[in-house]
Amino acid sequence: MKPPPPRAVARFVQRQPLGAIGGVIVVVLVAVALFAPQLAPHGPKETGFAPYLPPSADFPMGTDQIGRDVLSRVVWGARLSLYVGLTSVLIGVTLGALWGVVTAYIGGAPDSGSQRVVDSLMALPPIILALALMAALGQSVNNVVLALLLLLVPTAARTVRSVALSVKEFPFVEAAMAAGCSHTRVIVRHILPNCLATYIVLVTTNVSYAIVVEASLSFIGAGAPPDEPSWGGMLTAGTQAMENAPWLVLFPGVAISLAVFGLNLLGDAIRDLADPRLRGGLG
């Protein structure tokens, strides 16, 4: 990927100052996730230190209930969060977008049938749907991604479908059909590109959502296995000893808040730029 020219960056900073702050936080987050092995002083699952050590020079964020270095786990947690957030959102929104575009194009019974499936999935409370799926699949990081797909695909399908329905009515689609384009060509070359802005907005605004859902699932003990360095899971374990060892709650909590804060700011800015119609949306 080519870095954007400096002038474009300057313009973005000027027009979206909050977005730029978010961008900086996200860059730091990505860097921490990429260089976790170099940055973390210890392994994320490495035990053997004294438990419940308060923050000190040796352990800047203290140690946890079974003697693991909290700093190392917070650093590796960035990698886990970003991995879950990015894979689930990229796969989920892509599948949902394809589903939405294809059913909107076909129309009729298949379309309304698929909308009923979306209705059913969206009528279930998200955390509870994810909880049920995790109970069925068993706890692992990749199963959290699967559970998130179940939440993200229907939402994306519904949003993209509504955009595709209006794109379908444009004269250029009719022209393409009149010129003898195949259905696949009409969808891929004419309808899909016009849903791109919605797609980008869906991706950028849902990464923070996915990260929060992962942490929430791990918090209620249904997400990543307890030894994985998930910020949500670390928080749960810390809650047990909160009164005497508040750092166990504070550091993972601040890490997740900061990550979500940065992603929200950046997502808002990208939404404003990519799709002015959604400006001032509901977040």
Partner 1 sequence: MRTYIARRLLLFVPTLFGASLLIFVLMRLVPGDIAEILVYQTGSESSAVQTRQIEQIRRELGLDRPVATQFLAWLGGAVRGDFGYSYSQRRPVNEILAERFPRSMELAAITLLLAALWSIPLGVVSAVRQNTWLDYLVRVLSISGLSLPIFFTGVLILYLLVRVFRWLPPLEYVSLTEAPLENLKQLIWPALAQAYYISAPIMRLTRSQMLEVVRQDYVRTARAKGLGEGSVMYRHALRNSLLPVVTFIGWWGGRLLGGVVIMEIIFAVPGMGLALVQAVSYRDYPTVQAIIFVMALIFLAVNLAVDLLYGWLDPRIRYA
Which residue from 86, 98, 132, 241 is in contact with partner 1, where contact means CB under 8 A? 132
Of 42 and 230, nearer to partner 1 (C-beta) is 230
Could you give the residue ranges of the DSSP H alpha helices within 181-279?
Answer: 183-185, 196-219, 231-240, 247-274
Which residue from 30, 181, 246, 275 is in contact with partner 1, where contact means CB under 8 A? 246
CA distance linking residue 267 with residue 90, whole number of Å: 15
CA distance linking residue 145 with residue 106, whole number of Å: 29
- The maximal CA–CA distance of the chain, rounded, in angstroms, is 74
CA distance linking residue 58 with residue 148, whole number of Å: 37
* 135 scored as a contact of partner 1 (CB under 8 A): yes
Asked if residue 51 lies in contact with residue 65, where contact means CB atoms within 8 angstroms, the answer is: yes
Q: Which stretch binds partner 1 (CB under 8 A): 43-51, 71-79, 232-240, 270-278?
A: 232-240
Question: Least Å distance between CB 207 and partner 1?
Answer: 13
Angle at alpha carbon of residue 71, lines to 66 and 72, rounded to 5°: 80
Token readout for 24 is: 């900086």
Site for partner 1 in 172-211 (CB under 8 A): 208
Question: Least Å distance between CB 233 and partner 1?
Answer: 11
Question: Least Å distance between CB 232 and partner 1?
Answer: 7
User: Which residue from 248, 261, 215, 203 is spatially nearest to 77, judged by alpha carbons?
Assistant: 215
Which residue from 212, 224, 237, 270 is in contact with partner 1, where contact means CB under 8 A? 212
**Interface residue list for partner 1 (CB under 8 A):** 18, 116-117, 119-121, 123-128, 131-133, 135-138, 208, 212, 215-216, 219-220, 232, 235, 239, 242-243, 246, 249, 253, 256-258, 260-261, 264-265, 280, 282-283
